[in-house]
Amino acid sequence: DDDAWEPEFLESLLLPFQNDPGVSLCFCDHWIVSEDGGIDLLGTDANSVRYGRDILPEGKIDDLEGLVLEKNGVPMAMAAIFRKNAIDIGLLVGDVAGAYDLWLSCLLAAGGNSAYYIAKRLTRYRVHGQMESGRKAPDKNKNMIFIYEKLMELGLFPKKMPFLYRKYSQYHFQVGKDHLWFNNPKMARSYFLGAFGSGLNCKALAGITLSFLPRNFRIVLKVTAERP
């Protein structure tokens, strides 16, 4: 609600829809701005690299599935528009919580939809201290477990099942860490167990071991980890 559009954003992104009825999704890159609204050039460039848009050519996307699953490269929340009939409205569920942008991207990519990229920064994404991405909570990443579990259950990406399972397990490990951080050892163990079988066996085992240590010892480790 505190992001901003450049004056030509909507007109630019609507043009591919008008020129090609087969296009269901259009998106562009965006600026990163600070809390006071100033453009962060280094942050903007780093963000484009992180999500794979620095090397993405303008035009139709050849591999939307790969861009979405491997890079989460479509900025659905702040720099994209799509046709409402391109997704199953019944799949827009609250379980995805703050990861609704990834979920929408996955639904669009799985539907075989055609996407178009405008290689310009036409919106501004404000970064500040009260962002959801900075919030700490024991169940914060539980929605990611739901997303990857649901993608496997629905069979939306049959060729990507090993990748989806790996992400599903990785987020079990992350939620286990979050619960351990908030001193919920029993819950932490249950999630660490879900991380086995995906190349995280040693880390998951270490997490389970930590969950059995005395609380005071875990607090010492926590304080140590927080030090710069």
Check residue 101 and give its pLDDT.
95
Check residue 52 and give its pLDDT.
96
Listed by start position, the domains of the chain span: 4-126, 136-226
The pTM score is 0.88
Check residue 225 and give its pLDDT.
44
Q: Which long-range contacts (CB under 8 A, 24 or more apart) does 153-161 make?
A: 154/110, 156/106, 156/107, 156/110, 157/65, 157/69, 157/106, 157/109, 157/110, 160/65, 160/69
Sign of torsion over alpha carbons 31, 35, 36, 42: negative
- Topology classification of domain 4-126: Spore Coat Polysaccharide Biosynthesis Protein SpsA; Chain A (3.90.550)
Beta bridge partners of 39: 33
Check residue 198 and give its pLDDT.
62
Structure tokens belonging to residue 26: 């259009």
CATH code: domain 136-226 is: 1.25.40
Structure tokens belonging to residue 227: 């030090």
Residue with tokens 């690299």: 49
138-147 pLDDT per residue, tens? 888 999 999 9
Which stretches of the chain drop beneath a pLDDT of 50? 217-221, 223-228
209-226 pLDDT per residue, tens? 888 877 654 444 453 444
